[in-house]
Amino acid sequence: MIRVDGLTKTFTANKEPVAAVDNVDFEVADGEMVTLLGPSGCGKTTTLRCVAGLERPDGGRVVIGNETMVDVAAGVFVPPNRRKLGMVFQSYAIWPHMTVLENVAYALEGQRTAKAERHRLAMTALDTVKLAHLADRPAPRLSGGQQQRVAIARALVGRPQVLLFDEPLSNLDARLRMEMRGELRRIQREIGLSSIYVTHDQSEALAVSDWIVVMKDGRIIERGRPLDIYRYPRHVFTAQFLGTTNLVPGTVDATDDSGGRLRVTTALGPIIGIDRSGALRPGAKVKVSIRPEDLSAQAVDGLANTFDGKLTNALFAGVAVEAEVSVGGTTLACLLNRESDLTPGRAISLRARPDACLILPEESA
Amino acid sequence: MTDAASPAPAEQRRFHLGWREITLALLIVFLAYQVVIPFMMIIWTSLKTARPGDPEFLSLTVTFANYARALGSASFWRTTGNTLSFAFASTLLAFVMGAFLAWVVERTNTPLGRFIGFVLIARIVIPGVLIVISWILIASPNIGLFNQLMRPITGIRNVVNIYSFWGMVWVQALEMVPLAYLLLSAAFQAMDPRLEEASTMTGAGNWRTLRRISLPLALPAVGAALLLLFIIAIETFEVPLLMGTRAGIRVYTTEIFYDTSRTPIDWGLAATYAMALCAVAIVLLFVYFRLIRFGERYQTITGKDYRPRRIDLGRWKYLTCAAALVFVFLITGVPFLMMLYASLLPFYQAPSLAAFESMSLANYLSVFDSAKTITPMINSTILGPVVATAVIFIVAAIAYFVQKTQVPGRKVLDFLSFAPIAIPSVVLGATFFWFYLLVPLPVIGTLTIIGLAYLTKYMPVALRFVSASMMQIHSELDEAAQVAGVSWARNFFKVVLPLLRPGLLAAWFWVMVHAYRELTIALMLARSQNRTAAVVIFDLWEEGSFLLLSAFGVMMFLLLAALSTIAWLIGRRFGVQEQY
């Protein structure tokens, strides 16, 4: 269990104090993987480094298990080497002057175990990441994916209470990244360790997490289960950052009779959608978020949320066709069946179910 | 588009004679002339008892008489011992000081770090010979300021004697600290702090991280820095010449100088010492490059959020700051202030109220009075920029062929242009002199011969600056110009050279400053008409005109500072200020 309360960290940039992490709270339950997701500079890595003890926060508390690691108000700071954590770095940080086995076994040197026992445990850890056959290879002579596995084995071998991942996959190429994603999730589940995972890659976050915490400018925007936060983000920022979406600006016209539904006047005509917050009143400026996969080309005349337009662009992407449809000057991105007629300029009607049209308050910044 | 098809166009190109091929051929001929001949001259002269210019010198009979004479004499072995122990001690001292300064500036939160680094690097505009002289004026017996000031306090006639082994080591070490600092701060910057953090995360304390991670990782870079300093200390000339002679400590470089400057000139013995010097340098360079390559293996992928870790020293930071400032004062401040002080005096004396009252600009006026000082100043002002400009054009062409083309012969270019690094200045000066005694070209006694020797001397380092820059230019830029149908020569001048600008400016700057302040080669080749500024300082020193010398030194320093500032301003206009 990890609990972070009111964590704050300020840096000085150009003699101006900048809050890299601003009053951040979150919790990681036993055995769960929580992802800190956000664009670069949002404070996610600094948060992780504060949990690791590599940065000293200016305010707040970090509790791991039953032990308070940091409590700024009480003057408590446990140094990183006493926190019993495992960490995987973005650059892997594999020591180039050691072999694979030495890299992993080094992590056990602080414990009072015999050398033979250290090597045995290191081999077991290398087995977990399927790298036992390369144990004697000098570390620099490994591919990126293999270095990544060594880094994970090294983080695991000391039986830490918590695993920390700092953008562990961002230096790998696309195919390997997909593969390692599944691998990471498998290992984390097998070992059942509470983990914090930092990434700026939304699809990675959706794939590996139990919970996602979305951050921006040092603050937490919102948090949720991967499917919930993808389907029903509460902020325009989250809707945009997690996957692709069409954002149609408009004004709330009237509340519909059936629960939670609103009618919004937009450039596309009236759209019926849902308001999960229940706080939007007629006249409010809003954005309607419609995911491309929720726009279907099988339109039925006379139903609500039907948009007649012209196909302007179509890219065959294997699974489906990524298409752009111009509806009265507004461009909508949608996914079409790969057998569709892709003639540019042809007339096309799109429809979105009201449940898939999410009405979000327009953000001030 | 297949791999098999690509060699074909290269094959066609090989038989096409264009500007590119002509340039390549000219470069190879030039390098053979400038680099291969000096090496052959040393070897050949060491195998002959006749002097260059004698008909006998060109006959094919060789003898090992010179080697037998040198290796059989006690003085050769004494000189060898002196050379190695002097180089060893000054290397260690320079390394310790340089490492401390680099650590303070790069890895701690010591205040004034940038200032300390800047003042250290600014030292390179002070000629080496002036640094030696200023320390002699401070700590020589009888006239040394420090000895004069300490006499009433301690009652000892001479507290320190700079004319001694440790005096030489002290001055040589101070002279090398800026280089040690540069090499080590580069090594500190290249170290990924994540490697240390990863160790901390496994539960290791600071001590185990230092012993098992930081030190082993720094070892190749540290070893390379030590070796380079050692090579420089072995090849150094100013300190042994001005201090070693009176201290009775002779090293290889001074032996070569004396063998070639006394009558009768002992060519064979000088060449034998030169061979010994080159042999040591080549062996050390071989080890140096092995270490560099070993170090490159340690380079790992670095994350985007790379931020060097600085150690918070707490209140100790004021102590490290004070210590660093003292070092910087000794290294840069002392030579400059000493020259400035002496240049204003009517006669040399310890600082006192009377001394300050007697100060005037009289010495500066006498510098302007004499053609003996003005002509050499003009000579240096011509040599510096001209040689620098010539070197960067040659080096840019070499770097282009080596890195951006597949032309056969480019490896030869690479090797030849780097080989002069193994020839010590004193040997280079001697071989150029010997060669032009043989060849009936009227260059002896002109600036041309010095300029030619400088070309060979400064090519290797300039090439490193430009290569680093060339590596950042993607081959596709060059290829795009070729596909667009632009001629090779036009492309080189319009695309390659402009893109190389940062590297070229850095190389130009470095060569200009060093050619301006260089003493050894200029002294070996000096006649009455081609004396340079540094040679005049040596002349004035021999005459005992310290005060005129100091005024001249201050002017030389100011001129060089002005030239450097202009170069820096030009560089900034072209947007290269981030690379210094």
Identify the sign of the CA torsion B8, B10, B15, B16: positive
Which of B129, B116, B514 is CA-nearest to residue B326?
Answer: B116
Asked whether residue A264 falls in the same domain as residue A329, the answer is: yes
DSSP 8-state secondary structure symbol assigned to residue A342: -
- Whether the CB-CB separation of A250 and A286 falls below 8 Å is answered with yes
Asked whether residue A329 falls in the same domain as residue A187, the answer is: no
Asked whether residue A21 falls in the same domain as residue A154, the answer is: yes
Contacts with B205 from chain A: Cβ below 8 Å = 81
pLDDT mean over B154-158: 81
Among A97, A104, A118, A147, pick the best mutation site for testing chain B contact (most B Cβ within 10 A): A97
Asked whether residue A185 falls in the same domain as residue A287, the answer is: no
Contact between chains at B300 and A140 (C-beta distance less than 8 A): yes
pLDDT mean over B420-440: 88
Give the DSSP H/E element, type plus range, for residue B25: helix B19-31
Asked whether residue A205 falls in the same domain as residue A143, the answer is: yes
Place of tokens 């180089």: B87
Asked whether residue A316 falls in the same domain as residue A227, the answer is: no
Cis bond leading into B264, ω under 30°? yes
Give the one of B204, B298, B302 whose C-beta lies nearest to A97's C-beta: B298
What's the pLDDT at A364?
A: 56
Judged against a pLDDT cut of 60, whether residue B304 lies above it is answered with no
Instruction: Give the fold, CATH level 3, of B361-580.
Output: MetI-like fold (1.10.3720)
- Whether the CB-CB separation of B291 and B220 falls below 8 Å is answered with yes
Please list, in sequence order, all residues whose beta carbon lies within 8 angstroms of the beta carbon of residue B423, skipping any fewer than 6 positions away. Answer: B38, B39, B42, B278, B281, B431, B456, B457
Measure Cα distances from A324 to A290, A306, A313, A332, B412 in Å. Answer: 14, 16, 5, 6, 58
Percent of chain B with pLDDT over 70: 93
pLDDT mean over B435-457: 91
Strand ranges, E, within A193-305? 194-199, 211-216, 219-224, 246-255, 261-266, 269-274, 285-290, 295-296
Asked whether residue A294 falls in the same domain as residue A173, the answer is: no
Least confidently predicted of A244-258, A277-291, B515-529: A244-258
Per the structure block, which two tokens stand in for A152? 């994970």
Per the structure block, which two tokens stand in for B372? 């003996």
| pLDDT, tens digit (0-9, with 9 covering 90-100), for B315-324 | 888 999 999 9
Which of B453, B447, B470, B455 is CA-nearest to residue B389?
Answer: B455
pLDDT mean over B476-505: 80
> How far apart (Å, rounded) are the C-alpha atoms in residues B34 and B458?
12
Contacts with A81 from chain B: Cβ below 8 Å = 200-205
Residue A344: CATH number of its domain: 2.40.50.100
Give the one of B200, B216, B302 whose C-beta lies nearest to A91's C-beta: B302
Contact between chains at A85 and B201 (C-beta distance less than 8 A): yes
Measure Cα distances from B51 to B47, B266, B271, B317 in Å. Answer: 11, 8, 11, 61
Contact between chains at A97 and B301 (C-beta distance less than 8 A): no
Which of A296, A90, A74 is CA-nearest to residue A177?
Answer: A90
Judged against a pLDDT cut of 90, whether residue A27 lies above it is answered with yes
Contact between chains at A93 and B200 (C-beta distance less than 8 A): no
Judged against a pLDDT cut of 90, whether residue B450 lies above it is answered with yes
Among A203, A237, A271, which residue terminates a domain? A237
Among A213, A237, A261, which residue terminates a domain? A237
Asked whether residue A58 falls in the same domain as residue A93, the answer is: yes
Higher pLDDT, B290 or A209: A209
Residue A353, SS3? coil
Residue A48: CATH number of its domain: 3.40.50.300
Place of tokens 């956000």: A38
Contact between chains at B202 and A54 (C-beta distance less than 8 A): no
| pLDDT, tens digit (0-9, with 9 covering 90-100), for B350-366 | 888 888 888 888 889 88
Boundaries of domain holding A256: 245-361
pLDDT mean over A105-132: 89
State the helix-helix crossing angle for A115-128 and A174-191, rounded to 10 degrees. Answer: 120
Q: What are phi and psi for residue B430, nearest 5 degrees?
A: -60, -45
> How far apart (Å, rounded) are the C-alpha atoms in residues B144 and A80?
55
What's the pLDDT at B307?
A: 55
Contacts with B297 from chain A: Cβ below 8 Å = 96, 140
What's the pLDDT at B6?
A: 43
- Whether the CB-CB separation of B460 and B433 falls below 8 Å is answered with no
Question: Where does residue A92 fall: left (phi above 0), alpha (psi -120 to 50 degrees), or beta otherwise?
Answer: left
Contact between chains at A97 and B304 (C-beta distance less than 8 A): no
Give the DSSP H/E element, type plus range, for residue A85: strand A85-88
Which of A96, A93, A66, A76 is CA-nearest to residue A2?
Answer: A66
Identify the sign of the CA torsion B345, B348, B351, B357: negative
Give the DSSP H/E element, type plus range, for residue A86: strand A85-88
Give the one of A90, A107, A167 whose C-beta lies nearest to B202's C-beta: A107
Task: Please give the residue of chain B at the shortest CA–CA distance from A53.
Answer: B201
Asked whether residue A215 falls in the same domain as residue A133, the answer is: yes
DSSP 8-state secondary structure symbol assigned to residue B213: I
> How far apart (Å, rounded) are the C-alpha atoms in residues A202 and A204?
5
> How far apart (Å, rounded) are the C-alpha atoms in residues A211 and A225?
5
| pLDDT, tens digit (0-9, with 9 covering 90-100), for A303-347 | 788 899 999 999 988 888 999 999 988 999 999 988 888 888 899
Place of tokens 């090294």: A154
| pLDDT, tens digit (0-9, with 9 covering 90-100), for B513-569 | 889 989 999 999 998 888 999 999 999 998 888 899 999 999 888 888 888 788 777
Asked whether residue A60 falls in the same domain as residue A111, the answer is: yes
> How far apart (Å, rounded) are the C-alpha atoms in residues A201 and A35?
10
Contacts with A140 from chain B: Cβ below 8 Å = 297-298, 300
Higher pLDDT, A162 or B152: A162
State the helix-helix crossing angle for B362-369 and B546-573, rounded to 10 degrees. Answer: 80
Is the predicted ipTM greater than 0.85, yes or no?
no
What's the pLDDT at B574?
A: 59
Contacts with B302 from chain A: Cβ below 8 Å = 91
Residue B309: pLDDT band (50, 70, 90) is low
> How far apart (Å, rounded) are the C-alpha atoms in residues B548 and A121?
75
What's the pLDDT at B5?
A: 43
Residue B373: pLDDT band (50, 70, 90) is confident
Measure Cα distances from B31 to B36, B301, B424, B477 in Å. Answer: 7, 37, 17, 28
Contacts with B223 from chain A: Cβ below 8 Å = none
pLDDT mean over A68-91: 92
Contact between chains at A109 and B202 (C-beta distance less than 8 A): yes
Please list, in sequence order, all residues whose beta carbon lies within 8 angstroms of the beta carbon of residue A139, skipping any fewer than 6 positions away. Answer: A94, A95, A96, A97, A98, A99, A100, A103, A147, A150
Q: What does pLDDT average to over chain B?
A: 85
> How far apart (Å, rounded) are the C-alpha atoms in residues B124 and B517?
9
What's the pLDDT at B243?
A: 93
Which of A159, A149, A152, A65 is CA-nearest to residue A108?
Answer: A159
Asked whether residue A261 falls in the same domain as residue A333, the answer is: yes
In angstroms, the separation between the Cα of residue A106 and the nearest Cα of chain B is 8
Among A237, A265, A290, which residue terminates a domain? A237
| pLDDT, tens digit (0-9, with 9 covering 90-100), for B193-237 | 888 889 989 888 888 888 888 888 888 888 888 988 998 999 999
pLDDT mean over B35-48: 89
Instruction: Give the fold, CATH level 3, of B76-359.
Output: MetI-like fold (1.10.3720)
Which of B67, B45, B34, B65 is CA-nearest to residue B434?
Answer: B45
Which of B243, B254, B64, B80 is CA-nearest to residue B170?
Answer: B243
Strands lying side by side in the sheet with A347-352: A295-296, A347-352, A306-316, A321-327, A330-336
Task: Please give the residue of chain B at the shortest CA–CA distance from A84.
Answer: B203
Among B202, B209, B210, B296, pick the best mutation site for testing chain A contact (most A Cβ within 10 A): B202
Identify the sign of the CA torsion B138, B143, B147, B149: negative
What's the pLDDT at A259?
A: 65
When divided into structural domains, chain A yields a total of: 2
Contact between chains at A93 and B204 (C-beta distance less than 8 A): no
- How many Cα neighbours within 13 Å face the side chain of A334? 28
| pLDDT, tens digit (0-9, with 9 covering 90-100), for A135-177 | 999 888 888 889 989 999 999 998 898 999 999 988 888 888 8
pLDDT mean over B64-68: 88
Query: Alpha helix (H) ranges present in B439-500?
Result: 447-472, 475-483, 488-491, 497-499
Residue A164, SS3? strand
Place of tokens 């290191």: A122
Mapped to the 3 state alphabet, what secondary structure does A3-33 carry? EEEEEEEEEEECCEEEEEEEEEEEEECCCCE
Judged against a pLDDT cut of 80, whether residue A218 lies above it is answered with yes
Strand partners, A36: A198, A213
Judged against a pLDDT cut of 70, whether residue B306 lies above it is answered with no
Give the one of A97, A108, A110 whose C-beta lies nearest to B217's C-beta: A97
| pLDDT, tens digit (0-9, with 9 covering 90-100), for B491-510 | 888 878 888 887 888 888 88
| pLDDT, tens digit (0-9, with 9 covering 90-100), for B406-415 | 777 788 888 8
Residue A13: pLDDT band (50, 70, 90) is confident
Asked whether residue A175 falls in the same domain as residue A321, the answer is: no
Identify the sign of the CA torsion A224, A227, A229, A232: negative
Instruction: Give the B-side interface with A, CB within 8 Å.
Output: 192, 194-195, 197-205, 208, 212-213, 216-217, 297-306
Higher pLDDT, B447 or B149: B447
Strands lying side by side in the sheet with A2-13: A16-28, A2-13, A59-64, A67-71, A76-77
Residue B416, SS3? helix
Q: What does pLDDT average to over chain A?
A: 90
Residue A201, SS3? coil
Per the structure block, which two tokens stand in for A232? 């029903």
What's the pLDDT at B187?
A: 78
DSSP 8-state secondary structure symbol assigned to residue B419: G
pLDDT mean over B420-449: 89
Per-residue DSSP letters for B490-504? HHIIIIIHHHTHHHH
pLDDT mean over A221-225: 95
Would you list the domain boundaries of chain B?
A: 76-359, 361-580
Higher pLDDT, B86 or B430: B86
Task: Please give the residue of chain A at the shortest CA–CA distance from B213.
Answer: A95
